[in-house]
Structure 1
Amino acid sequence: MILRRPYAFLIKHFRLIHLILFALLAIITYNASTVLNFFKDYITANGNMEILSSNYINVFIYIAPIIIIGLSILIFYLMKYKDKPRLYYIILIIVSILCTGVYTYLYLNIRSLETTTVSARIIRLYRDIARSNFYVLFVMCIPTLIRGLGFDIKKFNFSKDLKELNLSEEDSAEVEVSIDVSSNGLKRTGRRTLRELKYYYVENKFFINIILGTLILILVMVFPFNKYVVNRNLKEGEVLGTSAFNIKVTDSYLTDRKRISKDNSYVILKVSVIGKVNKYSLDLDHFILEGKNNKYVPSQKFYLYFNDIGIGYRNNILDTTSYKDYILVFNINNIDKDSNFIFRYVDNDRGIKISPEVIY
């Protein structure tokens, strides 16, 4: 089998690869600046502002560093093969990993601010961390762009980086790889291959671990990220935050009491609500209870049946200083009585898992 060495391709596209690296870094840096501006605005407003954490996160924040790390590893091996300085690419790999971790940490704290308040000292700490993250990424953009444009930092000699890589015919030479499938030597070849792989791993442990770590990052963080981090379902007692209000389910009940037919039951949710903006009232049609077969919206006409549990919500203006308690009543079909219910607000991808207590 004939394989072609990749060095010629990497050398010929050296500037293009660095321009791609710069574009990816620029996008990450821009996102870092939005997080920094959030904490600046939060401090200026003394916490009195709408917060929607989903505005500050997306999957590309994790895909871009993975691509940067992969390209940096390739260029590192090119520089190593050509005996050129390669410290910059090690730094770029480390910065990509660390800044991704910092960004995740800051995002989780922004999400917590949807439902809780923290001291001004802690907010200033978050701001300083965000500022450091932004500055580090911004600084990394500069040498990446310079290499992409072909300038040498000292002499500003265009294309000097590319010329110093010494493109030779050997870089594009074809390498013949023979594959012996003789049954007599199959076991011997297998053992030799395992030994060679082991030696190769020992010699290149650092970079192989980076590649494996990158693959794990894709599997563990990118694909299930939206489901288990950004849009994970909450439990009763946890706060579901929106830009206009916070709501939590404190208790839930399932009952056949005063049902209007033999085929229906009621799910009653005790909720606590606080407003984030002045003179805001809830639109009950935007609340949904998902059963295994159907979806339901609250019905105000059944509130009187359950006055002993709480006061039904009827377009009340939300208090912005403290939580107020109400009940929501859902008239459900009996085929959904054994459902794993999810209580949702239509403008929010997250929901609250409901496990109602049966009452009579």
Structure 2
Amino acid sequence: MRKIIHIDMDAFFAAVEQRENPDLQGKPVVIGGDPYARGVVATCSYEARKYGIHSAMPSKQAQIRCPHAIFIRPRMSLYKEVSQEVMEIFHSFTSLVEPLSLDEAYLDVSENKVGMQSATLVARQIKERIWEELKLTASAGVSYNKFIAKLASGYRKPDGLTVITPEQAQAFLDAEPIHHFWGVGKVTAQQLKGYGIETGADLRQWSKEKCMEVLGSRGELLYRFVRGEDERPVNPKRIRKSIGRETTLQVDLTEWDEIFPILETLVSSLEAYLLQKGEQAQVLVLKVKFHDFKQITRRLTLPEPISTVQEMMSYLQQMSKRAPLEGKSVRLVGVTLAGFVSRKRAYEQLRLF
């Protein structure tokens, strides 16, 4: 049986800013755009969250909720540098590290570099190292598979450590609200609520056929998840044909100027992935879902491979002109990259030209 840890840094961008500037510690810090220039919140400190501030909220609204909040423009180069330091700590414990973004990763510590039998002790040591070396906190979930470990890491944030043993798993999953499960967003949660499904225990009463009938391709996966079954390995070298990031906005937006800061946060995570893999992408896809659940996508095959936030944002701004919002409310945005080539190969192609 595997021993899996999911580690999620606590309010990562804001915590890094508070570490860099001690005057910000204990204060409501908002990472995002200018409240006087139609900016949008990318993330915020836990002190700011107490005022109801959250990601994708207009910065002006955040300022109204907390007039003494401190607004800071994102410094992605700094966050990426600190993220690399976090990943180095992970790799000092195991080679099986699968980053999901700048601030979270799966680790398989079934066999590890420190010779510990207890995954709980490994997780505790990792958290201690992150605090001692980087002065940041992280929350960890420990279990026998990826799905439960990720659920557990969010259970006692911030600075939490939650262990779910095989014996505890079913009771834990039964009690979880259905919207906490992978693949269950607001729309699906409302759909399931119409069937009287509000918790994992409720969904567990359905047969596999019923799950697939109502939920389509996700149904079989959710059928297994609510039973604590997940055989996906932690795979640091998995080959992807595409990689994407998307987010459901907690407040619907109607202007591209409000949406661009959210896209910048998403593509920053994609840039980190490309940097780690030594790759560039030649296909860029923009996804927009409206309040009425209609969806549009815009796909662009690029003349040259790209890898940086600046390059991606430049093309996304061009693509937005082919996706007029016309006053419609946007509830979800996403960006996907495909057509990967190695940086070395891309450089050789440019030399040929």
| TM superposition score normalised by structure 2 | 0.25
Report the structure number with the largest CA radius of gyration.
1
Q: Whose strand proportion is higher, 1 or 2?
A: 2
Larger helix proportion of the pair: 1
- Where relative contact order (Cα < 8 A, 6+ residues apart) is larger, the structure is 1
